Structure 1
Amino acid sequence: QEHEEQQEPKDKKQRREKEYFKAEFGEPCGPKNKLLVEEELGRGVFSTVYKCRDMGASGKEYAVKFIRANPMLRKATEKEIRLMRRLRNEASAKDPDGARCFLGLAGPETFEHNGHLALVFHLQRCDLRTGLQRYGRGRGLPMGLARSYARDLFMALRALRAVDVIHSDVKPDNLLM
């Protein structure tokens, strides 16, 4: 019985691991396979994010977030998509200056690929935590840059307030630069 108890978490971890999307460099994805996977950018509890390039004339780069193949996560993500679209419409009308500070869906917005729901965003350099580590040189960001990021954050929060939404997970990892 002791062996079974130790085995259970490992089995659960293996099942969860299988839920993640794994892409190969150069793998096509997206509507009509017009996006090309270039590299993995990161992996979190709910998803894996890849840098993808539009194979059309624009050649735009996107961050594509592939949600784990899990019904509960899919349902939560579909709710998040509805919220992002609502914010784009309502916040833009009520607080256009604040709404421009949101990172919204881009390009084809969403698509299904190999059983995974995928969300498409404009590619950003990094999150604030990584930016501080990379560019802060142990002393933080230059005051002008810090002021600009703080202003954008407060503008975005003001726009959320205008549409009665509370962001419950504001942290450096979720602030993109």
Structure 2
Amino acid sequence: MTTWGGGQTHTNELYFIGTRENPVSTPICNSLAQNPLGTFRLQEYTSYNWVAASSTNTNLTATLSSNADAAIFNSTFIPNSSKLQLTSTGQYVTADGSGDYALSATRTTASAWEQFIIRQKSGAPGGVYSILAVSNSLYVTISSEGWLINNGEVEADSAGFYFVKS
């Protein structure tokens, strides 16, 4: 839409709100944090282990010391979240609603269980992200066996991840 238009429509109203002069010279709408988008390998922040998943072992684990065999994920946009797709299989990462099981790349289509909010982890260096599963609003943690599990009550419980461009 390039001009104001003549009618009172929702589009016109949104255009007016988004483009009007703000009397205090500050933006009316701020930019919100965005999920990293693109193709990535994931590296856990404290152990520096890389995340693995494959067609033979669909559960996500942070157990690799080298990125050579690390899983590659495609992170794509969904409003206020993203979906993670394992590129080697085309399957989407899913998070169990109970938070009792590891994240796994086993879904052919993405629904609510396959949505994640990925944001800069509070208190961590720049580029370290926490992952919140939309399925149960719990953060992804790392179990003692290296499994990625969505069972962290607060962000401080969550594991931090580098999203390394692939």
TM-score by length of 2: 0.29
Structure with greater contact order relative to length (CA < 8 Å, sep ≥ 6): 2
Indicate the structure with greater helix content. Answer: 1
TM-score by length of 1: 0.28
Indicate the structure with greater strand content. Answer: 2
